[in-house]
Chain A
Amino acid sequence: EAQVTQNPRYLITVTGKKLTVTCSQNMNHEYMSWYRQDPGLGLRQIYYSMNVEVTDKGDVPEGYKVSRKEKRNFPLILESPSPNQTSLYFCASSYYRGDQPQHFGDGTRLSIL
């Protein structure tokens, strides 16, 4: 089954404790992206990757890092999380660029106290 898998699905943590949200896709997609969803703001793009070792900033990259060492994986790293990063996060992938149908994971709800 074609899917985008995110882990963990839920996490409560404290300010300053580094965390990583993993994202994996099994569709051999080249393009992957991270979004955060906040009430009243919709989804906003954090980072995207066009292929292995190729990443770029989206609209709201501050406080986040990403890496793309393998085609299937695109982890999101919060090195020093702060309460304003409490949000619902989605990973998505598409065949080879952003203006194509994107397949989304089911989300990771992060609460940073």
Chain B
Amino acid sequence: QQQVKQSPQSLIVQKGGISIINCAYENTAFDYFPWYQQFPGKGPALLIAIRPDVSEKKEGRFTISFNKSAKQFSLHIMDSQPGDSATYFCAASRRGGNQFYFGTGTSLTVIP
């Protein structure tokens, strides 16, 4: 069964708009939640990550919002640019853990 559920599967956003991708998990032992960005022909690359001691983390145009009680976290891309067009994966693992669980991915297209 999928440990981390991700939606939507695909997303089309106008340049300058906000892209929002959502993830949900069930295992309350998870406490590391990264987002990875993948371009065609390349491996995933870490974009931003959060631990549940904070509800939000921002790095440039990218923000993770975390809702511990709802067991949900989301990625917000502000002022989306065509160069942001990629596949985005959320993931989760336990603190100190070695098993890693990815969501199913969201293909983002930002149109000029």
Contacts and interface: CB of A to CB of B under 8 A. Distances in A.
Interface stretch (B56-64, B66-74, B101-109): B101-109
A45 B104 contact: no
Interface residues of A, number: 26
A104 B42 CA distance: 9
A41 B99 contact: no
Given A104-B43, A106-B42, A41 B104 contact: yes
B89 interface: yes
A97 B96 contact: yes
A16 to B, nearest CB: 28
Given A42-B89, A101-B34, A48 B43 contact: no
Contacts of B11: none
A31 B44 contact: no
A50 interface: yes
A99 B97 contact: yes
Contacts of B96: 97, 99
A33 B100 contact: yes
A4 interface: yes
A59 to B, nearest CB: 7
Contact of B102 (A42, A48, A50, A107): A42
Contacts of B89: 42-43
A50 B98 contact: yes
B103 A99 contact: no
Interface of A: 4, 31, 33, 35, 40-45, 48, 50, 56, 58-59, 90, 92, 97-99, 101-102, 104-107
Interface of B: 2, 6, 9, 31-32, 34, 41-46, 49, 89, 93-105
The 10 tightest CB contacts between A and B, nearest first, are A104-B43, A99-B32, A98-B98, A42-B104, A43-B102, A42-B102, A101-B46, A99-B93, A98-B100, A42-B105
Given A98-B98, A101-B34, 15 more contacts: A33-B100, A41-B104, A42-B105, A43-B44, A45-B99, A45-B100, A48-B98, A48-B99, A48-B100, A58-B100, A59-B99, A59-B101, A97-B98, A99-B94, A107-B41
